[in-house]
Chain A
Amino acid sequence: MEMTNINNIPVEKFKFADRGDYKHDSKFDTKPVSYFQGAFRRFAKNKGAVVGGIVVAILVLFAMIAPFFTAFQPSYYDMSYAHVTPKSKLFSNLGVDFWDGCKEKNANLVALTKDLALAQETGREVIKDNYFTVDEGGSTYSYRYDTYYGVGFGKYKIITNEEYLAIQDYQNRTGRQVLYPTVKYADRPTQEKNKYDANIYYVTEDPKAAIIRPKLNSEGEVTPNYWKYKADEKKSKLIPDYNSLRIEGQDGFIGDDGQRYFYAYGRNVDGGVEVRAEYYEYYIYYHTEVKKDGITEPLFVFGTTATGKDIFACLAYGARFSFIFAIVVAVANFTVGIIWGSIAGYFGGKTDLFMERITDILGAIPTMIVITLLKYHMGASSQTLVLFISFFLTGWIGMASLTRMQFYRFKNQEYVLAARTLGARDRRIMFKHIFPNGLGTIVTSSALTIPSMIYSETSLSYLGIINLEAGNTTSVGTLIAAGQKSIMANAGYVAFFPCAFLCLLMLSFNLFGNGLRDAFNPSLRGAED
C-alpha cells in the first residue's frame, strides 16, 4: 500500500479506537541476566580460563580422591625399594619401553651376568625381554633393567623362627616361592661387601676378589652353589627344618652320584634364621600377611624416592594438605579481612588512619620472621598451626585493604546517600548496600591467593623450615627437595612429578584467575595487574 495521498484519507478508513488497542509497555522477551550469570557468561567465553578451570578442577579432584586410591601412606618407606622407577600396569603389560618400572642400564659383563643369573634363578625379567645390545668395543652392554625385580634377594635376611614357619605355611597355601636355597657360609665370597649379598648364589671364580665374577660352565651359564645335604644322612645342625616348596621338586633332586639331595633353605643364627628371600615375593608376603596394610604388591606408579617413599602417595597427600590448608587460610583471611576493611573503609577518617597504621606495621614483618618466632615458641610438633598462624597473620591485610578500597569507591554514591536518608543504620548500609557490590572483586582476589599460598607453603617446606612429615602427611616442597638430591643419582622422575604438579597448578590457576577477574570486572578486561 502506497502512502501517496495522505491528505485525502477516506472517512471509512477511520475506526473508533478500543481500550484494548492501547499499547502498554510490553514485558522483555529476554530473560533478565543477573550479575553472576553475566559473569559466568563472560567467563565461559574465555577459552584459556575455562581450560585453566578444568585443569584446576582435575588437580583438586586428584588431591581429594587419590589418597583413597593408594594403600601407601606418606609415612611408608622401604629402603630396599629406593629409587624404583615409575611403573604402570597399563604400560608394562603393553610391552612399551615407557613407564614400565625399568631403566636404561649400561653395564659391563660382570654386572650383566649377575642380572642374567638373577633372572635365571627367579624366572623374572630382570632384563626386559632378555634383550641387550653390546657396544662396538664389546665391553658395555645396555639393556632395560627392571628396578623392581633387579632388587632380587638384596642382603641375607635374618628372620625369627616363627616367621620362618609362617613363610613356609604361606608358601604351601599360595604356591608362591619366597625362600630360595641358601649358600653355605664357607662357600660365600669373603669380602665384607660381598659376603652378605644374597644375589650371589653361584660358584665364583675367585671368592676373595673385590669384584665377584661368576664361573661359567661350557654353555655360558652359572652353576648354583646351593648348600645341599644327602636325604638319607643327618643334616647339619645349622640347617632348620623345611617342609615347603622346593625348587626342582618336593622330594629333593638326584645328584651326579645318584643319591638324593635336599637344599638347605635357611641357616640357624643368633636370633632366628638367615634366609635368602626373594624381596619381591617377600614384600607381598610381608604386606598381605604380616602388616595387612592393604598393599598387595610393590607397584609404585610414580616411583620412589631415595628413602623408598612412594611418590604418588606423598604427592597425593601433600597436594590434599596444600589445598585444604590454602582454602582454610583463604577463608579465614577473607572473613577477617572484610570485617576489618569494611570498618576502616566505611568510617574513614581517624579510625581508618589508626587501623592503617596497625596493618602497615603487621604487613612490614617478613613472613619468614613470623614463622621462625612461632617455631621457636611452639616447637616442632605443631607445624601446621605455625604455618596457619603465620600465613593468617599477614595474609588478611591484603583482603582488608581491598575491601577498604571497595568501600571508598561506593560509600559516597547516591544510592548509599538515599539509603541513609531513609534511615538505614550503618550496619545495613555496609553489608546490604555497599558490600554486595564489591563482593565479586573480593571473592576473586581471595581465590587468587590460593596458588600463591600453596607456593609459599611449598617453598617453606622445600627450605626445610616447615616439616610436615611428623603428622603422616608431607608437602610438595619436601618432595621437590628430595627430588633435587635424587638428580645426582640420575633419578629425575623424583623431581619431575611434584614439579609438574606445581607448574600445572600455577599455570592453570593463573589462567583461571585472570578469566575470573575479567568476568567479574569487565572494566578491567585485559588490564595488566
Chain B
Amino acid sequence: MYMFKYVLKRLGLMLFTFFIILTMCFTLIKLLPIPVNILPGQDPDIIYETLKARGWIENVKEGSNGVYTYDRVPILKQYGIYLSKIITEGDFGIVTTYGEYLNMDIWEVFVNHLPPTILLNIYSTLIGVPIGLGLGIIAALKKNKWQDQLINIFVILLISVPSIVLALMLQYVFCFKLAWFPLLMSTSNNYFTWEVFHSMIPAVFALCLGSIAGYARFTRAELSEVLTGEYMLLARTKGLTKSQAIYRHAMRNSMVVIFPSILSEFIGVLSGSLIIESMFGINGVGGLYLNTITFQDYDFFMLLSGFYTLVGLTAGIVIDISYGFIDPRIRMGAK
C-alpha cells in the first residue's frame, strides 16, 4: 500500500512536470510566425482551409491582390483545440511543411520511424548488458589482479573516447576499410531479416560500447563493495563454497543497484542515439527530429518534443520506483 501511494505520487508529479513543459513548448512555438508552404501548382485555398481546420487561424480572406490575410487564434484556445484533438480523436495533426511527408498523419509517420530506433536500442541492450555485467563481475572477483587491470584500462578508454569518435572509428575500420558491413543501414522495411540486422551491427556496437564500459564500472564497484560485507564471511563460515556464496548472496544484493540502472539506461538511450542514427543513416526518430528542426514543422516538433521529454522523465522515475520493488528495505521518499 505504501509503495502504491509512492508510485502514484511520483507519477502525478511526473505528469505535472510533463504538462508544464508541454505548455511552455506549445506557447513558445505558437509565438512564431506560421510557416505556410505553398508549393507551385498548389491551391492556396486548400492550404489555408487546412490551417483553419487545424484551429490555427480564422477569418481567412483573400485580398484583391491575391494576398491572404487571417487572424491567429489565441494561443490558449489553440492549445485547448490541440489537446482535445489528441485526447478525443488521437489526432496529433498533419505534416504541414516537412516536404517528404507532406499532408500525412504525424502519428503515423512517427510510428513508422519508431521500429529502427527501438530495435537499435534493444539489440544494444541485449549485447551490452551481458558483456558489461560479465566484465564487471570478472573485474570484481579478480580485483587488483591483471584481469582487473586489463578491464580497467578498457573501461577507461571506452569511457573517455567520445562516442562520436568511437562510432566514426567503427565505421571507418569495419564498414569502409574492411567492408564487412554496409556504410549505412539498409532502408528495407522488413526489420527482422538478416540483411537489416547485418547492416545494423556497426551502429549497435557503436551504441553499446559506451554502456558496456558504464555497466562494467558500475558492477565492479557495487560487487566489490558487497563482497567485503560481513554476511559474505558468514556465508562462507556456514559452509557455502565460494561460488555458491557469490551467486546466492553477493550477486543478488549487487543487482539491487544494477538492475534499475539498466532499466533507466534502456529507456534513456531511446533519446540519446541522435548521433549514432545520423552517422549510420538509421531511418529512426532521431533523423525525423533533425529534419523537423530544419523544416519548422510545429505539430511534428510538438509530438517529438513530448516524446523525448516523456522518455527522459520516465527514465528518471523508473530508477526510484524499481528500487522499492526490488529491495523492500529501501523505502523511497520515506521520512
Binding site for B on A (CB under 8 A): 360-361, 364-366, 368-369, 372-373, 375-377, 455, 458-459, 462-465, 477, 480, 483-484, 487-488, 492, 495, 499, 502-503, 506-507, 510, 527-528
- CA separation between A369 and B13, bound complex, in Å? 21
Chain B residues in 8 Å Cβ range of A360: 13, 17
Q: Does B293 contact A (CB under 8 A)?
A: yes
With A365-B21, A365-B309, A503-B165 given, name 13 new contacts (CB 8 A): A364-B309, A368-B289, A369-B25, A459-B162, A480-B168, A487-B168, A487-B171, A495-B168, A502-B164, A503-B161, A506-B161, A506-B162, A507-B156
Complex: how many Å from CA A267 to CA B315?
Answer: 71
Complex alpha-carbon distance, A441 and B309, angstroms: 30
Q: A368–B305 Cα gap in the complex (Å)? A: 9
Q: In this assembly, does B326 line the interface, its C-beta being within 8 Å of a C-beta of chain A?
A: no
Chain A proximity mask over B226-254: 1 for CB below 8 Å, otherwise 0: 00000000000000000000000000000
A-B contact count (CB 8 A): 101
CA–CA, A458 and B169, complex, Å:
16
Decide if B28 touches A377 in the complex (CB within 8 Å): yes
Report the nearest B residue to A462, measured CB to CB. B164
Q: Are B160 and A361 in contact (CB under 8 A)?
A: no
Is A483's CB under 8 angstroms from B301's CB? no
B312 adjacent to chain A (CB < 8 Å) = yes
Contact: A369 with B309, CB < 8 Å? yes
- Dominant secondary structure at the B interface: helix
Q: Given known contacts A368-B274, A377-B28, A506-B162, is B289 in contact with A528 (CB within 8 Å)?
A: no
Nearest Cβ in chain B — how far from A249, in angstroms?
51
Instruction: With A455-B162, A462-B164 as known contacts, state yes or no: A373 contacts B274, CB within 8 Å.
Output: no
Residues of B within 8 Å of A488, CB to CB, are 176, 183
Task: Check B160 against A465 for contact (C-beta < 8 Å).
Answer: no
How many positions in chain B have a CB within 8 Å of any CB in the partner chain?
45
User: What residues of chain B lie closer than 8 Å to A480, measured between beta carbons?
Assistant: 164-165, 168
Q: Most B CB atoms within 10 A — which of A361, A366, A480, A488?
A: A366
Partner of A503, one of B160, B217, B278, B296: B160
- A-contact bits for B147-188, CB 8 A (1 contact / 0 none): 000000000110111101100110110001000000100000
- Please state if B164 and A459 are interface contacts (CB–CB under 8 Å): yes
Within 8 A of A (CB), among B282-330: 289-290, 293, 296, 301, 305, 308-309, 312-313, 316
- 20 sampled A-B residue pairs with Cβ under 8 A: A361-B17, A364-B17, A364-B313, A368-B308, A372-B305, A373-B28, A458-B164, A459-B162, A459-B275, A462-B164, A463-B278, A464-B290, A477-B164, A487-B171, A499-B165, A502-B162, A503-B161, A503-B165, A510-B156, A528-B218
Q: Which of B169, B171, B279, B293 has the most CB of A within 10 A?
A: B293
